[in-house]
Amino acid sequence: MIEEIIPNLYRTEIPLPRSPLKWLNSYIVRGDNRFLIIDTGFNREECLNEMNANLNKLGVDLNKTDIFLTHLHADHTGLAGTLATATSKVYFNEVEKNLINTEGRMGYWQKMVEYYAANGFPVDEARRTLEYHPARRWGDMRPVEYSIVRDGDSIDIGNFHFRCISTPGHSPGHTCLYEAAQKILVAGDLILFDITPNIAFWLEMDDALGEYLASLEKVNALDAKIVLTGHRRLVHDHRLRIKELQEHHRQRLNEVLAALKDGEKNVLQITPLIHWNLNVESWEAFPPPQKWFAFGEALAHVRYLEVRGKIKRITRDGQITYSLA
């Protein structure tokens, strides 16, 4: 599927099989004698076939193509190593470059399992869940030489003059693109319309939710007529959607506080008391990957409240619980 947003800027839908996200919005920008692909899809055959079909329809020459990755999640980066050629630049942020291309990746996952376990997540279940994690199954396994971009850097292609905007929260180095003259915001997973971005716990961020809300305020100040989202429908009123996302997290924070009114709990005990937009009857019926994501989001909300003195942490024998301050 190809949709022309404006002249020389196209949206393509890359299928994400067995994912509730359904598809990735990958964008292709045509310059005078060069192309730019923004985000790529999983490293799996279904994604590659659709991507190649779309590139062929648009006459894209991969030897004249660069790639921009909004953030490290496998549905955005998985095909980067496959699509990149010797003449390609793959633009990526420095924080996540050090995460995605590390030989110690297994050690990273082990630290995550240990932290989740300290907050109540069963160790065996955590390890089984990671076997199904998209980053483990469909991430980019090929080494990629990244061209590092930082907040304020420019990427020019044809009539498009994009400015990189650092927007951490959904991931540690999430980066948007802004085209001021044409009022286009490439939002990645910072702003989604039909669903809310997952804001989870990261070892690299002390307060992921706090950083995410600050990133929303940062782009709220931009004049944007078109917001190119990473999934589902596009957004045309980003300020209204930002208000909705802020309210969503305010309600979720209140649910955490309400869960602690009758005494201290660990995060595993808090998580089922939060409302999740998933069509299942109980927490036990959550698919394993969704349990991991929901637990991580609960952790991020708990941490936000702890940093602001609303709740306090209690550690006993390596196990962590929380109570109202």
pLDDT number for residue 279: 82
Q: Which has the higher per-residue pLDDT, 154 or 130?
A: 154
Indicate the pLDDT class of residue 101, thresholds 50, 70 and 90.
low
List the CATH number of the domain containing 177.
Answer: 3.60.15.10
Residue 317 makes CB contacts below 8 A (sequence gap 6+) with none
Counting the structural domains of the chain, the total is 1
Is pLDDT above 60 for 237?
Answer: yes
Strand 9-15 relative to strand 175-179, pairing:
unpaired
Mean pLDDT, rounded, for 94-102? 80
Q: What is the spatial distance between Cα 245 and Cα 121, in angstroms, rounded to a whole number?
A: 27
What would you report as the CA-atom Rg of the chain, rounded to the nearest whole angstrom?
A: 20
Query: pLDDT tens for residues 134-176?
Result: 777 778 767 789 999 999 999 999 999 999 999 999 999 999 9
Identify any residues that bridge with 68 across adjacent strands, giving them in sequence order.
38, 91
Q: What is the spatial distance between Cα 14 and Cα 230, in angstroms, rounded to a whole number?
A: 11
To which H or E segment does residue 11 belong?
Answer: strand 9-15
**DSSP, res 252:** H
Query: pLDDT tens for residues 163-211?
Result: 999 999 999 999 999 999 999 999 999 999 989 999 999 999 999 999 9
Residue 275 sits at φ, ψ, to 5 deg, of: -80, 125
CA distances (Å), 218 to each of 97, 165, 208, 224, in order?
23, 9, 15, 12
Tell me which residue range forms the domain holding 297: 2-324
Query: pLDDT tens for residues 48-97?
Result: 999 999 999 999 999 999 999 999 999 999 999 999 999 999 999 999 99
pTM to 2 decimals? 0.95
**Residue 113: half-sphere exposure toward Cβ, Cα within 13 Å:** 17
